[in-house]
Amino acid sequence: METFILQTLNGLDKGSAYALIALGLTLIFGTLGVVNFAHGALFMIGAFCAVTLSRILTLSYIVVDESKTDFLGNPLKVDVPYVFDIFGQSTGEAIIDWAVPLAIIFSIPIMIAIGWIMERGLIKHFYKRPHADQILVTFGLAIVLQEIIKYYYGANPIPTPAPEAFSGSFDFGALIGFDANTIIYPYWRIVYFIFAAVIIGAVFAFLQFTTFGMVVRAGMADRETVGMLGINIDRRFTIMFGLAAAVAGLAGVMYTPIVSPNYHMGMDFLVLSFVVVVVGGMGSLPGAVLAGFLLGILESFASMREVLELVPGINQIIIYLVAIVILLTRPRGLMGRKGVMED
Amino acid sequence: MTKSTFTRRGALKTSAIAGAGVAMPTIFTGSSAAAFTNEPAGSSVTLGFNVPQTGPYADEGADELRAYELAVEHLNGGGDGGMMNTFSSKALQGNGILGKKVEYVTGDTQTKSDAARASAKSMIEKDGAVMITGGSSSGVAVAVQALCQEAGVIFMAGLTHSNDTTGKDKKANGFRHFFNSYMSGAALAPILGANYGTDRKAYHLTADYNWGYTTEEAVRTSTEAMGWETVAAVKTPLTQTDFSSYVAPVLQSGADVLVLNHYGGNMVNSLTSAVQFGLREKEANGKNFEIVVPLYSRLMARGAGANVKGIFGSTNWHWSLPDEGTQAFVRSFGTKYGFPPSQAAHTCYVQALLYADAVERAGSFNPCAVGEALEGFEFDGMGNGKTLYRAEDHQCFKDVLVVKGKENPTSEFDLLEIVEITPVSQVTYDASIFGGELGACNPGA
Amino acid sequence: MFGLDRKDTRLLILVAILTMAAPFLLNPFPEGSAMAQFNAGYPDLMQRFVIFGIFAIGFNILFGLTGYLSFGHAAFLGVGSYAAIWMMKLLTMNVIPAIFMGVIFGGLFAVIVGYISLRRSGIYFSILTLAFAQMSFALAYSVLTPITGGETGLQPKTNDPRILDGTLADGATPKANIFGLEMSSSFELPLGSWLFTFNTGYYLAAFVMLASFYVAIRIFRSPFGMMLRAVKSNQQRMTYTGLNPRPYTLAAFVISGMYAGLAGGLMVAMDTQVGPERMFWTASGEVVLMTILGGVGTLIGPVLGAGAIKYMENIISKINSDILHTWFAFLPDGLEDLVVTLIYPFIGKGWHLTLGIIFMLVVIFLPGGLVEGGQRIAKLFSRKKADDNTSDVAKAPAE
């Protein structure tokens, strides 16, 4: 039972990452009809927003400490961050400690700007081009973006820890009436789950309850008619693109304490996020979220020792196996709309 | 049509005939033109440095390349000579190899065996490389080693830790300086026993591919021999990034030690997950819960940040070793690049020097002569103490370092502290236990 | 000739000349000169050009004609490779059975995957094929290690059974051959300071590619090819006329799977080693990119795309800063350093960056891929010759 609950928690946690990425992707892919292979790169850039902010916060000047030596026997150079001078040491340390949450604020304008530039500068010209061309251009863009990141940050993962206050784990089992020390769960993962839920809720509310959202939804359903009504749908699509980029970026920012970011993390998630979106069904935002959580939970259960003893190797293929089964039993995925990306 | 299995482009590239121009087509036969593949004919010799330059191990590859460039500089008499001054063999003069200036070509393995072979082939076929070295994974090492055997050039393996490289997939033309899974297990077990007791229950998470299997087996066998019990061993996909679902059930399994048979990015992520799940603060079976990482890579461990503190593992070499050879190498590397070398850089530098030295001693670039010079070669002053290149499997036998994540690192490079230098006698094994056949050396032509 | 019309015959002859003369054409720079870095006329790369050319031609039969975008084609290449290496381990080092079994197994696997995946269309089809390929990769890397060799892959060993071959001479290694003629054997022709290498393996692969190219032309021009185009343009209308598109698409899928299997078998024949990364999604993605880069639905495009990508991978990635310094040594020191610093991010370990930029430039400026680039150049020339003749080129559809 404890294991069951633990794996459900894990599944929800993984699922919230999948759902967030798939949500952004489906805004672009399922609704604007653009096959965006650069979406993983947006997720990665979000993560590197957090890295960059923590680099900025730790911008330092060098003080030579004569009492210690470095590996070559020269006097040790100690880095002193400028924030220490501005805010004093303790506040400075606290600010550096909270770099990841602070990066949320830092990343939103950056991601929206990147999304906006991408759409205006590139994607806009590809709405009417074949999907093949969209794949090539966005894949090229993804490579360029990740190579730029690699050039500045190297290829190794970069540790980006959560604030001290969230670094531990708490006894979830004791909370719901199990023995102590049976269901332990890290604080940050719970934060991530709640964060994802809030973002997903916000996106849905935005599309559901605002006039803007209504127009966009109408535009997804029938772009031409909306255009004929004299509404500038293009502009709104640009904003949607910025929004999708911001969602992907935020997913990346908050993910950094869970998996140390590296330049190819976007590519690692790319294929998976396409699978999630398609399993959810093209053009369906709820479908993408649902599929994200479903695949996250199934993946967690497939990695249990008991399951692996029964079916060796199932953890390697579970996501793809489920995708095949779902696509064969439900022709348009879980909640797909007819006629979207079917030809 | 005549057979010249691999080209003698190296000869042509630098020889005087090339410039003179031959109007009539000439048919070269392998035997008459060259005694072996890519016999260097001019005043220079070309070595092929095949390292990962893209993909997850790109930084490790970059460090390897730095080491090679340094080695070339030293071989050609530049710089401060590095380990050439401390090396027990004094055959190297600093005038290149056999008086020929050392030149090199570089390639990208992408940490994929196909790409690595393509790159190595282009070095052999196009650039006339007489030796290939480098790499950062066992899959690549085994693939390139087999290629070099076919082509008739020497392969000096870079970072490859699987038993297979000099075990079931060993080849006469391939040599490995790096240690292997078996040695890690044998070196770690006594230290683990001394620090954590001999009645521990271990839970293994193992990367689901060859290297993971051999490492798990090595650690299991050696820890079980001293009384540990293995509660479970779960295989994790190579492509996994979030290990929460593997780490979460560990506490309830009754285990009190978690062994992470992971390398590189996998290791960083699984260790981060394990620490986040609070394993290290927990008690199980009345003991402190512990985590072990059999193979440490300092470069990669940086990605795990503070999570490595106090965690035991093994490593081939570390820059903080006190011996002269290490100090000489760290000094020249650090002066040139501004930071200390990684173990990957060390093994590559040493391999380059060992090759050059073997050529000098053999008096020929012929792979068979070089192989003979390396087989059973004993040396010292290369940072690992007395070392033997065993003739039976072309594996180096030397002391193994057991290290621990440092509690109070003074710099970003100062992540590991040396706990114990396990003497070579404890990690030596019989050459036949992993099967495989060396075969005969292949000079190519 | 060969049942082709004049234009196709010309194309086939052109391709034949290009492949047969490749050792000359790809080695334009003399040995030892600074530009020799750009020579691609060494056996391994030439073999890769034609093998990936075959792979892309096959992929294009499916994607270019029917519009079905398979994102898992590398799986067939991988399965073909494994079948081929097992033939070499069990039967003989002669490449004929290996290549043959590669085609058969690639085709068989394509029948299974195609039968299931073709129940869906569009993106749903793509994801189904992707799922199959990713499963093949993951299993080959891990639990199937006894069959696939896992991470370290499979190579012929001296102690393999090889029931058709005699026992190896002591110390000899098994070498891929065709009736005794080794794949790796070459004939070298030094001309002045040039050195041209004619490699047995390359010519075998090149002949196979010519045959594949010929078959592809015949498929493109056949009634079957027309049917496949009908599937692409309007599947519904086709169904209304009482035709069931499934058998046609499945046939196209299996044929392209066999092409992939053939490429896999040839890869093993040229270089006797198989590793599972060959089936990773990036490998499937690569053939998609090759085809689009060259020109979807054109005959020659995929081959050009394959060549371009492999050239970048093998040539650009090998240029290092040392080589740059030699090139620009004639410049004054400061300027030399500046130029090297500017170029350095794009070469060596930065070859991915160059590749990404080229993808973007091609698709932005040449919507029809490299083939369109060629057509534009041809158009330029023909306009110079005779203005009224241009319409001819313009009308020629991008096939």
| pLDDT tens-digit series, residues A135-177 | 899 999 999 999 999 999 988 899 888 888 888 888 877 777 7
Counting every residue written for chain A, the total comes to: 343
Q: Is A273 on the interface with B (CB under 8 A)?
A: no
User: In this structure, what token pair is assigned to residue B324?
Assistant: 């002269």
Please give the average per-residue pLDDT across B108-117, as a whole number: 92
At a CB cut-off of 8 Å and minimum separation 6, what does A92 contact?
A81, A83, A84, A85, A86
**Within-domain flag for A183:** yes
Q: Is B158 on the interface with A (CB under 8 A)?
A: no
Tell if the CB–CB gap between B236 and A168 is shorter than 8 Å.
Answer: no
- Please state, in angstroms and as integers, the Cα–Cα distance from residue C212 to each residue in C48, C228, C310, following that order: 15, 18, 19
Are B445 and B36 within 8 A, CB to CB?
yes
Q: How far is B385 from chain C (nearest CA, A)?
A: 31
Cβ-nearest to B25 among C184, C189, C273: C189
CB atoms within 10 A of CB A182: 17
User: In this structure, what token pair is assigned to residue B262?
Assistant: 């992971």
DSSP per residue, B414-427: --EEEEEEE-HHHH
**Within-domain flag for A194:** yes
Nearest chain C residue to A30, by CA: C123
Comparing A13-22, C230-239, C295-304, the range with the smallest average pLDDT is C230-239
- pLDDT of B27 above 80: no
Q: How many contacts does A have with B, using Cβ atoms within 8 A?
A: 138
What pLDDT does B329 receive?
95
CB atoms within 10 A of CB A197: 15
The conformation of residue C71, written as its DSSP 8-state character, comes to S
In chain A, how many H helices and how many E strands?
A: 15, 4
Nearest chain C residue to A324, by CA: C128
- pLDDT of A74 above 90: no
Q: Which residues pair with B387 in a beta bridge?
A: B379
Q: Is A185 on the interface with B (CB under 8 A)?
A: yes
Please give the average per-residue pLDDT across C238-266, as a whole number: 93
What pLDDT does B6 receive?
47
Please give the average per-residue pLDDT across B403-410, as a whole number: 89
User: How do residues B123-181 score in pLDDT, each as one tens digit?
Assistant: 999 999 999 999 989 999 999 999 999 899 999 999 999 999 999 999 999 999 999 99
Counting every residue written for chain B, the total comes to: 445
Q: Which residues of A touch C (CB under 8 A)?
A: 35, 122, 125, 129-133, 135-137, 139-144, 146-148, 151, 267, 271, 274-275, 278-279, 282, 312-313, 316-317, 320-321, 323-324, 327-328, 331-333, 341-343
Please give the average per-residue pLDDT across C366-387, as a whole number: 83
Q: Is B1 on the interface with C (CB under 8 A)?
A: yes
Q: How far is A58 from chain C (nearest CA, A)?
A: 27
- pLDDT of A314 above 80: yes
Are B155 and B173 within 8 A, CB to CB?
yes
Top pLDDT among C327 and B342 is at: B342
Nearest chain C residue to A143, by CA: C356
Tell if the CB–CB gap between A186 and B241 is shorter than 8 Å.
Answer: no
Q: What is the CA radius of gyration of chain B?
A: 22
Q: Is B239 on the interface with C (CB under 8 A)?
A: yes
Residues of chain C contacting residue A343, judged by C-beta atoms under 8 Å apart: 67, 121-122, 235
The helix, strand and coil proportions of chain B, stated in percent and rounded to the nearest 5, come to 40, 20, 40
| Residue-number span of the structural domain to which A113 is assigned | 2-329
Strand residue runs (E) in chain A: 60-69, 75-81, 169-171, 184-186
Cβ-nearest to C359 among A140, A324, A342: A140
- Long-range Cβ pairs for the range B320-325 (8 Å, 24+): B320/A71, B320/B414, B320/B416, B320/B417, B320/B418, B321/B383, B321/B401, B321/B418, B323/B381, B323/B383, B323/B385, B324/B86, B324/B381, B325/B83, B325/B86, B325/B87, B325/B380, B325/B381, B325/B382, B325/B383
What pLDDT does B32 receive?
39
Top pLDDT among A187 and B6 is at: A187
**Within-domain flag for A337:** no
Please give the average per-residue pLDDT across A99-128, as a whole number: 92
Please give the average per-residue pLDDT across A66-86, as a whole number: 79
Going by C-alpha positions, the residue among C15, C88, C1 that lies closest to residue C50 is: C15
Tell if the CB–CB gap between B249 and A305 is shorter than 8 Å.
Answer: yes
Please give the average per-residue pLDDT across C11-22, as a whole number: 94
Over pLDDT 90: what percentage of chain B? 72
Q: Is A186 on the interface with B (CB under 8 A)?
A: yes
- pLDDT of A327 above 60: yes
Burial class (CB in 10 A: 0-12, 13-18, 19+), B378: exposed
- pLDDT of C77 above 70: yes
| Type of residue found at B320 | S
Cβ-nearest to B114 among C185, C191, C278: C278
Comparing A263-272, B370-379, C57-66, the range with the smallest average pLDDT is A263-272
Sheet holding B201-207, edge to edge: B229-236, B201-207, B257-261, B290-295, B312-315, B400-405, B416-422
Q: How confident is the model at residue C386 (pLDDT cuts 50, 70, 90)?
A: low
Counting every residue written for chain C, the total comes to: 399
Domains, chain B, ranges and CATH? 9-179+320-398 (3.40.50.2300), 182-315 (3.40.50.2300)
Q: How confident is the model at residue B8 (pLDDT cuts 50, 70, 90)?
A: very low
In this structure, the dihedral spanned by the alpha carbons of residues C59, C61, C63 and C65, taken in order and rounded to 10 degrees, is 170
List subunits contacting chain B, requiring 3 or more Cβ pairs under 8 Å. Answer: A, C
Q: Which residues pair with B233 in a beta bridge?
A: B204
Residues of chain B contacting residue A252, judged by C-beta atoms under 8 Å apart: none
List subunits contacting chain C, requiring 3 or more Cβ pairs under 8 Å. Answer: A, B
What pLDDT does C385 receive?
60
Three-state secondary structure call for residue C287: helix
φ, ψ of residue B167 to 5 degrees: the values are: -110, -110
Q: How confident is the model at residue C190 (pLDDT cuts 50, 70, 90)?
A: confident
User: How do residues A190-246 score in pLDDT, each as one tens digit?
Assistant: 999 999 999 999 999 998 899 888 887 777 777 677 777 777 777 888 888 999 999
**What average pLDDT is seen over chain C?**
89
Q: How many contacts does A have with C, using Cβ atoms within 8 A?
A: 129
Residues of chain C contacting residue B142, judged by C-beta atoms under 8 Å apart: 152-153, 155
At a CB cut-off of 8 Å and minimum separation 6, what does B322 contact?
none
Cα gap B47→B68, rounded to integer Å? 10
Tell if the CB–CB gap between C138 and B239 is shorter than 8 Å.
Answer: yes
Tell if the CB–CB gap between C123 and A143 is shorter than 8 Å.
Answer: no
Q: How far is A279 from chain B (nearest CA, A)?
A: 20
Provide the residue ranges of all domains of chain C, joining segments of one domain with +. 6-280
Tell if the CB–CB gap between C188 and B21 is shorter than 8 Å.
Answer: no
DSSP per residue, A229-252: TT--HHHHHHHHHHHHHHHHHHHH
Q: How confident is the model at residue B33 (pLDDT cuts 50, 70, 90)?
A: low
Q: Is C351 on the interface with B (CB under 8 A)?
A: yes
Nearest chain C residue to A320, by CA: C131
Q: Is A180 on the interface with B (CB under 8 A)?
A: no
Q: Report which secondary-structure segment, H or E, holds B371.
A: helix B367-374
Are C124 and A342 within 8 A, CB to CB?
yes
Tell if the CB–CB gap between C190 and B18 is shorter than 8 Å.
Answer: yes
Residue with tokens 């559809």: C397
Q: How confident is the model at residue A67 (pLDDT cuts 50, 70, 90)?
A: confident
Cα gap A35→A277, rounded to integer Å? 11
CB atoms within 10 A of CB B442: 24
C-alpha torsion sign, points C229, C232, C234, C235: positive
User: In this structure, what token pair is assigned to residue A118?
Assistant: 């991408």
Are C330 and C337 within 8 A, CB to CB?
no
C-alpha torsion sign, points C310, B120, A262, C339: negative
What pLDDT does A213 receive?
84
What pLDDT does A69 receive?
76
Tell if the CB–CB gap between A155 and B413 is shorter than 8 Å.
Answer: no
Cβ-nearest to C277 among B2, B112, B126: B112
Are B37 and C184 within 8 A, CB to CB?
no
Are A172 and A183 within 8 A, CB to CB?
yes
Q: Which CATH number fits domain C6-280: 1.10.3470, 3.60.90, 3.30.9, 3.30.2450?
A: 1.10.3470
Q: Is B327 on the interface with C (CB under 8 A)?
A: no
Tell if the CB–CB gap between A274 and C356 is shorter than 8 Å.
Answer: no
Cα gap C391→A258, rounded to integer Å? 60
Residues 343-382 of C with CB under 8 A from A: 345, 350, 352-353, 355-360, 362-364, 367
User: Per mean pLDDT, which of A174-188, C155-169, C222-236 is the most reliable?
Assistant: C222-236
What pLDDT does C384 receive?
65
Q: How far is C207 from chain B (nearest CA, A)?
A: 18
Going by C-alpha positions, the residue among B208, B205, B209 that lies closest to residue B219 is: B205
Interface test with A, best of B80, B245, B253, B300 (most A CBs within 10 A): B245
What pLDDT does B21 receive?
35
CB atoms within 10 A of CB B94: 13
Residues of chain C contacting residue B61, judged by C-beta atoms under 8 Å apart: 349
Please give the average per-residue pLDDT across B7-18, as a whole number: 42
User: How do residues C339-361 score in pLDDT, each as one tens digit?
Assistant: 988 988 898 888 999 999 999 99
Q: Is A305 on the interface with B (CB under 8 A)?
A: yes
What pLDDT does A91 receive?
85
- pLDDT of B16 above 50: no
List subunits contacting chain A, requiring 3 or more Cβ pairs under 8 Å. Answer: B, C
Please give the average per-residue pLDDT across B219-224, as a whole number: 95
Q: Is B237 on the interface with C (CB under 8 A)?
A: yes
Going by C-alpha positions, the residue among B274, B442, B348, B395 that lies closest to residue B50 is: B348
Q: How confident is the model at residue B106 (pLDDT cuts 50, 70, 90)?
A: very high
φ, ψ of residue B22 to 5 degrees: the values are: -115, 120
CA angle A120, A125, A129 (to 5 degrees): 150
Three-state secondary structure call for residue B250: helix
Please give the average per-residue pLDDT across B292-315, as a whole number: 89
The conformation of residue B378, written as its DSSP 8-state character, comes to E
In this structure, the dihedral spanned by the alpha carbons of residues B347, B348, B349 and B355, taken in order and rounded to 10 degrees, is 100
What pLDDT does B17 receive?
38
Residues of chain A contacting residue B335, judged by C-beta atoms under 8 Å apart: 72
Q: How far is A155 from chain C (nearest CA, A)?
A: 11
At a CB cut-off of 8 Å and minimum separation 6, what does B438 contact?
B170, B171, B172, B392, B393, B394
**Within-domain flag for A341:** no
Going by C-alpha positions, the residue among C397, C61, C54 that lies closest to residue C229 is: C61
Residues of chain B contacting residue A312, judged by C-beta atoms under 8 Å apart: 235
How many domains is chain A partitioned into structurally?
1
Cβ-nearest to C142 among B19, B235, B437: B235
Residue with tokens 């050439």: B84
Cα gap B258→A22, rounded to integer Å? 33
Q: How confident is the model at residue C194 (pLDDT cuts 50, 70, 90)?
A: confident
Q: How confident is the model at residue B246 (pLDDT cuts 50, 70, 90)?
A: very high
**Within-domain flag for A161:** yes
Q: Is A91 on the interface with B (CB under 8 A)?
A: no
Please give the average per-residue pLDDT across C251-265, as a whole number: 97
What pLDDT does B20 receive?
34
The conformation of residue A337, written as its DSSP 8-state character, comes to P
Please give the average per-residue pLDDT across C209-215, as a whole number: 96
φ, ψ of residue A55 to 5 degrees: the values are: -65, -40
Tell if the CB–CB gap between C152 and B125 is shorter than 8 Å.
Answer: no
At a CB cut-off of 8 Å and minimum separation 6, what does B295 contact?
B161, B181, B184, B215, B263, B267, B313, B314, B315
